[in-house]
Amino acid sequence: MLAILAPGQGAQTPGQLRPWLELDGVESRLRWWSAAAGLDLVDIGCEAPAETIRDTAVAQPLIVANGLLAAEQLGLLPAAPAGGARAVVAGHSVGEITGAAITGSLTPESALLFVGLRGRAMAEASARTPTGMTALLGGDPDEVAAALEGMGLTAANRNGAGQIVAAGTLEDLAKLADSPPPKTKLRPLSVAGAFHTHHMASAGDALRAVAGGIRPGAPVLGQLSNADGAAVHDGADLLTRLVTQVAAPVRWDLCLAAMREAGVTAVIELPPAGTLAGIARRELRGAKIVAVKTPADLDAARELVAEYLPPAGVAVPTQTESLVGETS
């Protein structure tokens, strides 16, 4: 089984789109997607400094656009699996929107419109109350989550590999810094707010107000949900989950558990890649992993796509049950 992963906010870097503009047709594609996102993705992705792309309203469309560029180069926009396909899609936080375009639940344009609204709404929600996020490394996951709850904080990301991200008010995060749970190391994150907590409720409301006008497609691959790691095969269900996840914790640990259960033996992380590939190396021992950071990594990713998502008429024997075609 191949897992196609899409990263979340924090993975962006200045100039990340510059090498992609060397590929034929990419600049015009980005110009079109810029109209959908409401941002000049070419300028932001090539020239904007770190401070600019740290802005939630900017970072989210940039990350999704970069992932979609690579997916298109790999023939995955959307994926078109034949009968022997063995693949599943998973995105971390905003990466779920990238994943939705790969499965065919959203068109690229709908994905960019949705993420543009999502980024702006989450930035507005962040401005209402001084909040933030801190990563905790080490400790027992359940004990850490319980300790955070006792401090008024939320375990907003449970990422596996011994990492939990706490989110809440700056006052409560200061209490965490003064009295961290046993056997943990703290690393404050440079983010604008307490994402995936009740502090983002207004952003969820903004997305819910427009979601009824979206006509999701029928997914061609299962997508593992951040909510519970379940494989979703219904576009309407996935869209509902995209709305609610902005104010709900990301359970990447459960997505990883689902990958292990499905027998994932290979991973492609779409750009801006690195973080999820690093977690996969620790959690999916023995899997072949390709982190697509620049176009130079596309050939290695194409080899995995050809192996696990063969062209029509090419049968691939499998020893694990495929996630393609199941019902959610």
- Residue 93 annotated as catalytic: yes
Phi, psi of 320 (to 5 degrees): -120, 155
Separation CA 251–CA 158 (nearest Å):
5
Q: Pairing relation of β-strands 163-169 and 131-137?
A: antiparallel
Residue in 88, 87, 35 with CA at minimum distance from that of residue 65: 35
Separation CA 201–CA 88 (nearest Å):
29
Q: Which residues, in sequence order, are CB contacts of 77 under 8 Å at separation 6+?
A: 68, 71, 101, 102, 108
92, 126, 196, 225: the active-site residue: 196
Pull the structure tokens for residue 204: 């969820």
Distances in whole angstroms, Cα of residue 270 to Cα of each of 128, 230, 233, 276: 33, 21, 21, 9
Pull the structure tokens for residue 282: 């620790």
Pull the structure tokens for residue 171: 């006052």
Which residue type is seen at 174?
A
Is residue 250 a contact partner of residue 93, using CB atoms and an 8 Å limit?
A: yes
Q: Which residues, in sequence order, are CB contacts of 45 under 8 Å at separation 6+?
A: 15, 16, 17, 18, 20, 30, 62, 65, 66
93, 105, 110, 322: the active-site residue: 93
Separation CA 90–CA 86 (nearest Å):
14
- Residue 233 annotated as catalytic: no
Which residues are marked as active site?
93, 196
